[in-house]
Structure 1
Amino acid sequence: MSIALVAGGTSGIGLATARRLRTQGYDVHVTGRGKERLDDVAASDPQLTGHQADGGDSAAMAALAESLGTIDVLVVSLSGSEGMGPIASLDLAVLRRAFDAKFWAHLTTIQAVLPHLAAEGSITLLGAVSARASMPGTAGIGALNAAVEALVKPLAVELAPRRVNAVSPGVVDTAWWSGLPAEAREGFFAQTAASVPVRHVATADEVAEVVALAATNRNMTGTVLEADGGARLVSIG
């Protein structure tokens, strides 16, 4: 059975992707930093195998990859919740921490897993619409997601015939937004749904469908798939 590793696969888009890959016949392994979320996955999705590992920890990810043998599909769905805010008052120490949590963790995971990735395997990264949108207050997090997505084209050539792609979601109804009070979150989702062309805030599974496509379609590489409901085309907020 082919092996898929989803780094950051204990919630949101990562978990939804892991479930989709499992239905496609993969032996799916997910990583998470916290034992509580891993325990939740073990209870809700016993067909997935969880591992406590930090994507930013090269030694931990390399040891995990070695224990799995040959990995056919690597999905990197690592993120943090920091980096938003007006540039004049943006705490650059917080933004550096956000880069550590996402960009450097993506790069660390790729490098650690690469020696164990199948010769015709795939790597799929998670960016975000902020990489190319013009929303006030997103200069920091937009630069972060643009850095992740900028890895795709050069790596697709450098690592060929392995395939490298990314998916760029817009607003997705996941726990990423849990830092907002419920009323503010619901208001923002309603505003977003009214603004984007699809008139809808995405679910994690809708984005995971695109991630699974990028991860498994053998004719797709060097591509950033935009699954943002058209958010890049309009002004939100």
Structure 2
Amino acid sequence: MTERIALVVGGTSGIGLETARQLRARGAVVHVAGRGEERLAALAASDPELIGHRVDGGDRTRIAELLATIGTLDWLVVSLSGGEGAGPFAELDLDALRSAFEAKFWGQLTTVQTALPHLAEDGSITLVTAVSARAGLPGTAGLAAVNGALEAMIRPLAAELAPRRINAVSPGLVDTPWWDGLPKEARDAYFTHAAERLPTRRIASPADVAEAVVLAATNRNLTGTVLETDGGLRLTTLD
């Protein structure tokens, strides 16, 4: 079997970084795209086998330039996210929600569309969304809109792009830098409260979710699917 080529966009931290590591452990050549110079420098120091690139996933020109240097791509993982779009609907900042769509929805779609000419015939696309698309949690209507829009495209794209595969992985609460906006004490208290109510009784690690992403990317019998890896969050409430 020839060496597989992977690209993880949004792969310098959290779920994306753990996915890149696990794909590399499977023997793939793994390229990682991210916006932050500091995170890319840290990646080069901690994971020298991963090939870092300073690229914004929403920048079609830069993504196209990167893909031209990579050549044929077997596994594309898009883990772009953003910190905006949450909050009670009556007070929701719609400009912030537009920014959330720009960062995650349009960023992921731009990356995928630009990558299609470079994707192997048996290649795969895996998007990282969030369980807010289906969980019905108060204060997440904006997040649900962004992630729901991405997940709604998975099944029709799987039919349209065949035999290339496309899936999404939908995590719940994960201890990633997405929560860095909260003071540590507040975050720890919230995680403790939430873990007591989750069926799994724990907050996921990025590696937990990355295992599902790797499955979606590499399993040749999986397409048109949204894999829920939420610790049972959709089955309960956090009140």
TM-score higher than 0.5: yes
In 1, distance between residues paired with 2:165 and 2:61? Answer: 24
TM-fit CA distance, 1:192: 1.0
Measured in 1, the distance between the counterparts of 2:81 and 2:159 equals 25
Mapped to 2, the partners of 1:216 and 1:2 lie a distance apart of: 10
Counterpart of 1:185 in structure 2 is 187
Q: How many residues align?
A: 237
CA RMSD of aligned residues (A): 0.6
Deviation at 1:178, TM superposition (A): 0.6
Match of residue 133, structure 1, among 122, 132, 135: 135
Distance in 1 (CA, whole Å) between partners of 2:182 and 2:7 is 30
Could you list the runs of 5+ residues in structure 2 that have no partner in the other structure? none
Alignment of 1:46-61 (within 5 A): 46-61=48-63
How far, CA to CA, are the matches of 1:132 and 1:236 in structure 2? 15
Aligned match of 1:72: 74
| Structure 1 match to 2:123 | 121
**Deviation string for 1:114-136 (max 9, x for gaps)?**
11000110000011010001111
Partner Cα distance (2:31, 2:238) in 1: 36
Partner of 1:225, secondary structure, is strand
Percent identity between matched residues is 63
TM-aligned CA deviation for residue 54 of structure 1: 0.3
- Once residues 211 and 154 of structure 2 are traced to their aligned partners in structure 1, the CA distance between those partners, rounded to angstroms, is 19
Summarize deviations over 1:189-230 as a string: whole Å, max 9, x none. 001100110001000000000000000000000000000000
The amino acid of 1:98's aligned partner reads A
Deviation at 1:150, TM superposition (A): 1.2
d(CA) in 1 for partners of 2:219, 2:56: 28
State the distance in 2 between where 1:37 and 1:219 align: 34
Q: Secondary structure at the match of 2:135?
A: coil
Question: Which residue does the alignment assign to 1:109?
Answer: 111
* Counterpart mapping for 1:1-237 below 5 A: 1-237=3-239
Any stretches of 5+ residues in structure 1 without a counterpart?
A: none
Paired amino acid for 1:190: T
Paired with 1:236 and 1:111, the residues of 2 have a C-alpha distance of: 37
Aligned mates of 1:185, 1:75 — CA distance in 2: 28
Q: Secondary structure of the equivalent of 1:6? A: strand
Instruction: Work out the CA distance in 2 between the residues paired with 1:37 and 1:95.
Output: 25
Q: Which string of whole-angstrom CA distances, capped at 9 and with x for unpartnered residues, describes residues 130-169 of structure 1? A: 0001111100111111111112111101000000000000
SS of alignment partner, residue 51 of structure 1: strand
2-side partners of 1:80 and 1:121: how far apart? 27
Moved more, 47-56 or 143-152: 143-152
Runs of 4+ in 1 over 4 A off after TM superposition: none
1:2 Cα deviation after fit: 1.2
TM-score scaled by length of structure 1: 0.99
